[in-house]
Amino acid sequence: MDELGRLASNARVTVRRSGAPDPDGKYVVYWMQRSQRALDNPALEVAVQAANLLYKPCVVFFAPVPFYPHANLRHYRFLSQGIPSIATGLKKRGIGFVLRRYPDHHLLKFCEQARPALVVGDENPMREPEHWREAVAARLGVPFWTVDADVIVPSRLLLKEQYGAYTARPRIRRLLPEFLQPVGNTRAKIGWKSPHGLQSLPPDSDLTAGWKLDCSVAPVAGISGGTDHALKRLKSFIRNDLANYPVDRNKPERDGTSRLSAYLHFGHIGPHTVALAVQKSKAPKAAKEAFLEQLIVRRELAINFVRFNPDYDNFESGTPWAHKSLAEHAGDPRKIYSERQMEEAQTHDPLWNAAQRQMVVTGFMHNYLRMYWAKKILEWSKTPARAYQMAVYLNDKYELDGRDPNGYAGIAWAIVGKHDRPWFERPIFGKVRYMSFNSTSKKFDSKRYIQQMEALEG
């Protein structure tokens, strides 16, 4: 096998259109979608290595569109803030950057102009970007490879939908020594020189100007998108919070978690960068393990769920025991809140209202409360299917890290028992695990948390 063939046979790579690179092609193009970074990006790394083997320059094509499902101004602002660090990082490595935006977003049109030898993309298990990749693979005239760049263990190696962390964990752990390795940030051998007349926007352009977007959700103050900001946050977390993570991760009033989820969602930082920095740190072993369990096992279990379960964002994704048990309790009396009452945080429960407020104002809700929040939506909705729909709607609309496999898996866990086991039978919930106000609010300083959320401006 030649060196290019070896690159294509990497477990992270899917060959979506096979064949030899076009010998007359001028570049290797990396179509950046999910992995929006120049640092430690396995898809970019494959593209640069291929370009170096072919003695051609490498160029990144990135073109946001206004119709990404459920994305609103809050999300687009964060995405846009990440673009200058992509541009700077690529320049340092001699890689080109072409930034366009809707309606000039078509990869195929760009390829007609640029004439690539080979196109490389990244992977995202969600259904819409998968359709886009399939459409491109059907129409491109040159080979098209995609790279599973935002997981440590390539998601295809888990083979099928996993029952829970207990089945995924041993498989992932076995493969970690092979895949938890530095990604590499190879420089382009043939530096990029932008051809005359090739259209590209400046990295700090207002990408959403003139777009018809949902502007009802304001951008979040106090957090900015981009690799530079993500790295600062990672450094501060490792220095100040990692050692206490096993305890503080269950204390919503302490803000002791990494707050990296939005950066991971947009690909501004990759899991390799985070995991290797945590491994290298001087924090106690138990703290590192507790954090890596979330970052690797739980996160990659969520990706596995979305990759292998076509119903990942609706009630049908549930486990058979939960469906049966919830159906048996369909007629149980319940207190119902309208969707508007929930969205406006007008329930009788001060803890739930505080959590909802944290999400609406700051674009983030603490993990411990996300569980409680979704369980209560189940308790207060007419049917479990409507509860599922409502939780997805609110989560995707307000969370900066929403529209992500972690969100769909978290909601499926809370409402339809995904990755969980049957518990003692209760009204409404049946055998789905229940969380009560009394026990949840005693596990941390909930009064302080509620005060903190009431004091939020916005």
Cα–chain-centroid distance for residue 378?
24
Select from 49, 81, 124, 258 the one that contacts ligand FAD (CB under 6 A). Answer: 258
Say if CB 86 and CB 97 are below 8 A apart. yes
Tell me the residue ranges of DSSP E strands in 255-353: none
Select from 150, 228, 248, 401 the one that contacts ligand FAD (CB under 6 A). Answer: 401
Position 313 contacts ligand FAD (CB under 6 A) = no
Select from 29, 188, 295, 394 the one that contacts ligand FAD (CB under 6 A). Answer: 295
Find the binding residues for ligand FAD in span 355-374 (CB under 6 A).
367, 370-371, 374
- In the complex with ligand FAD, the residue whose CB is nearer, 294 or 452, is 294
Q: Distance between CA 49 and CA 52 in Å, rounded?
A: 5
Question: Which stretch of DSSP H or E encloses residue 116?
Answer: strand 116-122
In 10 A of CB 340, how many CB atoms? Answer: 8
Select from 14, 52, 261, 317 the one that contacts ligand FAD (CB under 6 A). Answer: 261
- In the complex with ligand FAD, the residue whose CB is nearer, 21 or 402, is 402
> In this chain, which stretch among 311-319, 351-359, 381-389, 399-407 interacts with ligand FAD, using CB under 6 A?
399-407
Q: Which residue is nearest to ligand FAD (CB)?
A: 410
Rg (CA), the chain: 23
Q: How far is the CB of 400 from ligand FAD (least distance, A)?
A: 9
Cα–chain-centroid distance for residue 435?
26
Say if CB 114 and CB 59 are below 8 A apart. yes
Position 74 contacts ligand FAD (CB under 6 A) = no
Select from 133, 249, 376, 419 the one that contacts ligand FAD (CB under 6 A). Answer: 249
Find the binding residues for ligand FAD in span 141-160 (CB under 6 A).
none
Position 410 contacts ligand FAD (CB under 6 A) = yes
How many residues sit in the footprint of ligand FAD (CB under 6 A)?
A: 28
Is the C-alpha dihedral spanning 5, 9, 12, 14 positive or negative? positive
Specify the residue for token string 């593209």. Answer: 47
β-partners of residue 144 are 17, 119
Q: Distance between CA 81 and CA 110 in Å, rounded?
A: 24
In 10 A of CB 345, how many CB atoms? Answer: 18
- In the complex with ligand FAD, the residue whose CB is nearer, 204 or 289, is 289
The residue ranges that bind ligand FAD (CB under 6 A) are: 249, 257-261, 264-265, 294-295, 298-299, 302, 367, 370-371, 374, 395, 399, 401-402, 404, 406-407, 410-411, 413-414
